[in-house]
């Protein structure tokens, strides 16, 4: 009864006029900043923190969580419309979302993406609350060996991502893995592949690479073809609703992906980007038509979008439960909480439950409002995809340059964007899929680090830990599954002859 | 067709060269740092090598065999006429992107953004009105969002650095 | 006679008054100007947070100015430090970086360094960072004594080979003659907290702000402080300097203690005009003393800042760079992978 009471109190707190207004402001800011590639949630939080000094906790939290919950949304829109990911975690949305735009289904893609984000965020918030009692046990049973296996599982999805040409897919994946190895190796202090430059000292920066591979490559392609991104007219208004309905049609997928994302979100050490790729790969594996992924299948949009927002709810869990930030965005939030007099940690669950609920409700509601806000403009934004190339190309290129540069004020980032833009274009022309590359880039280092750590702590015996064994069986399933499936289909084909 | 094939071979060579570089350089690192580069590099060399081999040496001989092995060959051959043009256009677009970066480096964001927009649009045969309008809007949005609202200093460029 | 004395007296007093008040022109110097604090890390770390905390208060002290933070990560703080080194000495660029780390980098002769730490204009320091060896509770190492006497392996987590805590851990082991300390890299970010909770490692090296929570929950216990003297908030925790026995051990302990002093030192390009440097230094000192700032720091559960003016920092940096050759050799040795 006490718990229900706290839940109700938390909910009322969110709807206080001051707090609610601040949440709306946070959501608007989050949407705007989210649109610019590169500038992420962390940046906005850092900028907002001075404003929350002296605010009462629920109001300040409403502003910050409101902003943080929706910064991913802006990136989803640019991913769908212009193949321009806002962050690496938006890359999977590009794979199918942009293809849908090219088919004239921008509205539908956005409707699906935004609604899935909203729903995913809510599920994430609910999962947060359900898990709280057993949080400690779960989080502490996953250590470096388990993280290593999880990354191997993620990487093994590469195999199923590239259905057309396995060789090219593997080359792309290995290339991505290789790129992730550039820079200082924490296990030895040796700086690998920096070619004497300081720029590559800390490794390949993901954002310039991803922006180049997707956005710049696409603009080069558009410039070559000369016309418009989308040819022909489509009724955008109906499409947006269609997208929303898609999420409900695929509600089971939405739910599963959200839950997977929440768990990945609260397991430290894996990185939030992984959840978007995992769920995309998973959605493809369990889909009835996996061969349509990468060509404009709305499931390929729903999965990563739900995941991206759900994982933030997941990242709140260790932040609140342990006082340990679950993501870099959370680290900043933690600082803000302290300033407002909230001390996250197990004590909070005991003494300040209404505040915890208020946080969860804020995240849930901010997601819905953010989705609704953006959906209202979706129709107008979808029109942008119909712009002539001579307008669109400078717009997007400048957009990308700004985003690429602002994160670290380095010209090197722009050069990197150019190089990967060129590579991305030729990969596109010659049918080398980019998904494995990004997957390898994101997971490679994490896998290596966790392997070395596991080996350092436990020797090779780490492979026999129970959860590790279960995960390795999943890896086998992920790798062998597609091969068996193809063999079965060939068998069927032969039988039919 | 020939150009396109040549391009594909160049890309394959790029990947092969990359994996070779990765592997060779890794031999200079300590055992632990060498491990994953070798695990990635050696299969990479094998795969990229096989890919290149298939594209260059093992060329299909008979016409029906060619058609079966390369779906869409008919369309590609029709594109033949335009491929030379395509390469030129790709080079031009790459040049445009490089130009943007060069201009930002020398003149900074505030100057580059309106002038690049204007230049690009004019050279793509847009009207003066549209070009100037868009360049102006771009500049205005930039100024309001970055300078006034977010207080982010935009890179001033080599020329304007004091 | 009396009149002349009075006039002379007045002139002296006026002169003194002008000297004490400072150049009135300086007060206007920063009007309408933007000061950029270059933080050598990405958004979100401790250095970034500190810079963002102080910037509005610094702005208040320099009327008419705007103080912004710009992140220039890369190269282990070297890229940002280079940026400050090459910036014009016009009082509009400041730098925040892991100064002890840069000192070690410069001593080792790391590639890519364009600066000389001795030649920066040091503006001041925000606070001295109290670092501790924190141990996992109930692991058999509940006091420094227990650690010194024990035969069991003591694993200390760190982000990577060659980073601050990694080097400090090995230097500490050298200074104390501990044979069973093993550094475990790959604990990035806050992963080491989980390393302790999952009982994978026995110790970590860091500031109290990260560990207070676990200490109060009884999961961790502070063992040794790296400051020159015991920390007032933890009087039972011995300092490294107390525990070392050999002269070289003492030199190492002094070096490590020096690192704490300089962690939040703020610097500006070399050859900054003296009056500008003074203005900035005074402004920084005053900003930290503003009651509203102190209140905020207290709310954040942080230690009160103990700032230092620029001149003091300059002498500390010079002292830190002048090390006996055997210590230099040691510093070069520990930064590499230990086989």
Q: Does A397 touch chain B (CB under 8 A)?
A: yes
What residues of C are in contact with residue A189 (Cβ under 8 Å)? 160-162, 335-337
Which of A188, A397, A444, A455 to mutate against chain B (most B CBs within 10 Å)? A397
Residue C146, C-beta contacts closer than 8 angstroms, at least 6 positions apart: C140
The rounded distance, in Å, linking the Cα atoms of C88 and C90 is 6
Nearest CB partner across the interface for C43, out of A43, A346, A457:
A43
Average pLDDT of the segment spanning A14-22: 81
pLDDT tens by residue, B134-162 = 888 888 877 777 766 666 667 778 877 65
Per-residue DSSP letters for A199-256?
TTTT---HHHHHHIIIIIHHHHHHHHH-SBSS-S---HHHHHHHHHHHHHHTHHHHHH
pLDDT tens by residue, A109-148 = 988 998 898 888 888 878 777 777 777 787 788 889 998 9
Taking one residue from B and the other from C, the number of pairs with CB-CB distance under 8 angstroms is 11
The pTM assigned to this predicted structure is 0.84
C103 in Cβ contact with C322 (< 8 Å): no
- Residue C267: strand pairing partners: C95, C122
A426 in Cβ contact with B91 (< 8 Å): no
Token pair for A270:
């894996």
Average pLDDT of the segment spanning A201-229: 86
Name chain B's partners: 3 or more CB pairs within 8 A.
A, C
The rounded distance, in Å, linking the Cα atoms of A281 and A300 is 9
Nearest CB partner across the interface for A430, out of B11, B121, B126:
B11
Residue C21 has pLDDT above 80, yes or no: no
Residue C22 has pLDDT above 50, yes or no: no
Instruction: Please report the pLDDT score of residue C49 as a whole number.
Output: 83
Nearest CB partner across the interface for B162, out of C70, C88, C337:
C88
Residue A487, C-beta contacts closer than 8 angstroms, at least 6 positions apart: none
Instruction: Please report the pLDDT score of residue A160 as a whole number.
Output: 61
A486 in Cβ contact with A161 (< 8 Å): no
What residues of B are in contact with residue C36 (Cβ under 8 Å)? 153
C24 three-state secondary structure: helix
The rounded distance, in Å, linking the Cα atoms of B86 and B79 is 10
Token pair for C50:
């500190």
C239 three-state secondary structure: strand
- Closest CA in chain B for residue C71: B152
Work out the percent of chain C whose per-residue pLDDT is above 70. Answer: 91
Q: Which residue has the tokens 């590239």?
A: A162
Per-residue DSSP letters for C166-235?
HHHHHHHHHHHT-SSEEEE----TTHHHHHHHTTS-SEEEEEHHHHHHHHHTTSEEEEEE-SSS--TT-T
The rounded distance, in Å, linking the Cα atoms of C212 and B150 is 34
Instruction: Please report the pLDDT score of residue A497 as a whole number.
Output: 57
**C12 vs A419 pLDDT, higher one:** A419
Average pLDDT of the segment spanning C273-294: 93
Helices (H), chain B: 2-26, 31-56, 63-69, 73-123, 128-142, 157-160
The rounded distance, in Å, linking the Cα atoms of C155 and A456 is 11
Mean pLDDT over the full length of chain C: 86
C143 three-state secondary structure: coil
**Which strand (E) or helix (H) includes residue C162?**
none
**Lowest mean per-residue pLDDT among A135-139, A444-448, C332-336:** A135-139
Q: How far away is chain A from the Cα of C74, in angstroms, using its nearest Cα?
A: 6
Supply the DSSP symbol for C127. Answer: -
- Mean pLDDT per 10-residue section of chain B, whose length is 162 residues: 80 96 94 92 94 79 54 53 74 94 91 90 85 85 72 74 58
Instruction: Please report the pLDDT score of residue A452 as a whole number.
Output: 92
Supply the DSSP symbol for A198. Answer: S
pLDDT tens by residue, A176-194 = 999 999 998 988 888 899 8
**Is B151 close to C68, i.e. CB distance below 8 A?**
yes
Token pair for A337:
């909480």
Q: How far away is chain C from the Cα of A155, in angstroms, using its nearest Cα?
A: 20
Token pair for A418:
């150019």
Instruction: Please report the pLDDT score of residue C24 as a whole number.
Output: 56
**Which strand (E) or helix (H) includes residue C36?**
strand C34-39
How crowded is residue C337: how many other Cβ atoms within 10 Å of its Cβ? 18
How crowded is residue B10: how many other Cβ atoms within 10 Å of its Cβ? 11
**B111 vs A336 pLDDT, higher one:** B111
**Is C34 close to B32, i.e. CB distance below 8 A?**
no
Angle between helices A91-102 and A106-131 (to 10 degrees): 150
Instruction: Please report the pLDDT score of residue C9 as a whole number.
Output: 47
């Amino acid at each position: 009864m006490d718990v229900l009471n706290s839940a109700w109190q938390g909910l009322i707190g969110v709807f206080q006029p001051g707090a609610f207004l601040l949440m709306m402001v946070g959501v608007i800011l989050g949407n705007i900043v989210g649109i610019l590639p590169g500038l992420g949630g962390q940046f906005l939080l850092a900028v907002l923190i001075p404003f929350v000094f002296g605010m009462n906790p629920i109001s300040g939290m409403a502003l910050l969580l409101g902003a943080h919950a929706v910064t991913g949304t802006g990136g989803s829109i640019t991913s769908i419309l212009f193949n321009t990911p806002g962050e690496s975690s938006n890359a999977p949305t590009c794979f199918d979302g942009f293809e849908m735009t090219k088919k004239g289904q921008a509205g539908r893609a956005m409707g699906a993406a935004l609604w899935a984000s909203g729903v995913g965020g809510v599920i994430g918030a609910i999962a947060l609350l359900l898990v709280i009692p057993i949080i400690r046990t779960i989080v502490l049973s996953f250590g470096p060996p388990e993280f290593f296996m999880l990354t191997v599982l993620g990487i093994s999805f590469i195999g199923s991502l590239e259905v057309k040409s396995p060789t090219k897919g593997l080359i792309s994946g290995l290339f991505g893995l290789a790129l992730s190895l550039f820079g200082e190796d924490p296990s030895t202090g040796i700086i690998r592949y920096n070619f004497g430059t300081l720029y590559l000292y800390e490794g390949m920066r993901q954002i310039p690479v991803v922006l180049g591979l997707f956005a710049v490559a696409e603009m080069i392609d558009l410039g070559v073809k000369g016309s418009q991104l989308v040819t022909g007219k489509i009724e955008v208004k109906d499409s947006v609703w269609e997208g929303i309905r898609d999420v409900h049609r695929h509600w089971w997928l939405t739910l599963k992906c959200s839950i997977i994302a929440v768990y990945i979100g609260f397991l430290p050490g894996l990185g939030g980007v992984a959840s978007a790729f995992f769920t995309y790969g998973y959605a493809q594996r369990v889909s009835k038509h996996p061969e349509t992924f990468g060509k404009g299948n709305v499931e390929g949009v729903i999965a990563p979008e739900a995941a991206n927002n759900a994982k933030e709810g997941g990242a709140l869990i260790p932040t609140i439960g342990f006082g340990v930030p679950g993501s870099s965005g959370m680290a900043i939030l933690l600082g803000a909480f302290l300033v407002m007099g909230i001390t996250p940690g197990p004590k909070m669950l005991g003494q300040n439950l209404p505040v915890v609920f208020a946080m969860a409700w804020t995240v849930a509601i901010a997601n819905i409002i953010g989705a609704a806000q953006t959906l209202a403009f979706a129709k107008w934004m979808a029109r942008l995809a119909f712009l002539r190339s001579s307008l669109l190309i400078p717009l997007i290129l400048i957009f990308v340059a700004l985003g690429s540069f602002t994160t670290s004020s380095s010209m090197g980032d722009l050069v990197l964007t150019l190089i990967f833009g060129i590579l991305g274009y030729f990969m596109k022309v010659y049918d080398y899929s980019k998904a494995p590359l990004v997957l390898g880039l994101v997971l490679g280092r994490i896998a290596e680090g966790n392997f070395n750590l596991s080996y350092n702590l436990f020797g090779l015996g780490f492979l026999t830990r129970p959860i590790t064994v279960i995960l390795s069986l999943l890896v086998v399933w992920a790798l062998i599954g597609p091969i068996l499936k193809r063999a079965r289909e060939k068998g069927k084909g032969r039988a039919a002859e | 067709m020939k150009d396109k094939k040549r391009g594909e071979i160049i890309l394959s060579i790029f990947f092969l060269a990359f994996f070779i570089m990765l592997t060779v350089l890794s031999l200079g690192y300590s055992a632990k740092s060498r491990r994953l580069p070798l695990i990635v590099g050696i299969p990479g060399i094998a795969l990229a090598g096989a890919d290149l081999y298939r594209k260059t040496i093992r060329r299909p001989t008979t016409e029906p065999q060619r058609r079966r092995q390369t779906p869409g060959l008919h369309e590609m051959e029709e594109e033949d006429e335009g491929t030379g043009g395509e390469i030129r256009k790709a080079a031009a677009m790459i040049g445009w992107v490089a130009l943007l970066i060069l201009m930002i480096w020398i003149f900074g964001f505030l100057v580059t953004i309106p002038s690049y927009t204007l230049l690009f649009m004019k050279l793509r045969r847009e009207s003066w009105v549209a070009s100037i309008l868009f360049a102006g809007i771009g500049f205005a949005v930039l100024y309001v969002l970055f300078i006034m609202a977010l207080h982010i200093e935009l890179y001033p460029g080599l020329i304007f650095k004091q | 006679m009396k009149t002349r004395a009075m006039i002379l007296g007045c002139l002296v007093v006026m002169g003194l008054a002008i000297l004490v008040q400072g150049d009135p022109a300086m007060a206007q110097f920063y009007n309408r100007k933007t000061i950029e604090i270059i933080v050598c890390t990405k958004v979100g770390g401790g250095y970034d947070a500190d810079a963002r905390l102080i910037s509005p208060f610094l702005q208040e002290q320099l009327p008419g100015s705007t103080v912004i933070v710009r992140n220039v990560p890369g190269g282990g703080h070297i890229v940002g430090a280079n940026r400050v080194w090459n910036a014009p000495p016009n009082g509009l660029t400041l730098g925040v970086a892991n100064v002890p780390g840069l000192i070690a980098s410069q001593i080792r002769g790391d590639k890519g360094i364009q600066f000389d730490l001795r030649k920066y204009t040091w503006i001041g320091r925000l606070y001295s960072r109290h670092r501790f060896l924190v141990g996992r509770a109930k692991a058999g190492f509940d006091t420094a004594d227990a650690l010194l006497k024990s035969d069991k392996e003591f694993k200390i987590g760190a982000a990577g080979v060659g980073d601050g805590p990694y080097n400090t851990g090995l230097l500490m082991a050298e200074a104390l003659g501990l044979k069973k300390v093993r550094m475990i890299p790959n604990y990035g970010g806050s992963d080491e907290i989980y390393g302790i909770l999952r009982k994978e490692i026995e110790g970590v090296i860091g500031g109290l702000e990260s560990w207070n929570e676990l200490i109060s929950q009884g999961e961790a216990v502070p063992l040794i402080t790296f400051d020159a003297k015991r920390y007032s908030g933890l009087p039972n925790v011995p300092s490294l300097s107390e525990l070392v026995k050999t002269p070289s051990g003492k030199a190492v302990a002094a070096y490590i203690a020096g690192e704490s002093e300089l962690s939040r030192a703020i610097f500006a390009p070399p050859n900054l005009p003296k009056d500008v440097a003074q203005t900035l230094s005074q402004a920084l000192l005053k900003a930290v003393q503003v009651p509203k700032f102190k209140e905020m720091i207290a709310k954040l559960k942080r230690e009160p800042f103990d700032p230092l003016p620029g001149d003091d920092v300059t002498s500390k940096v010079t002292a830190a760079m002048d090390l006996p050759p055997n210590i230099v050799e040691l510093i070069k040795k520990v930064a590499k992978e230990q086989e």
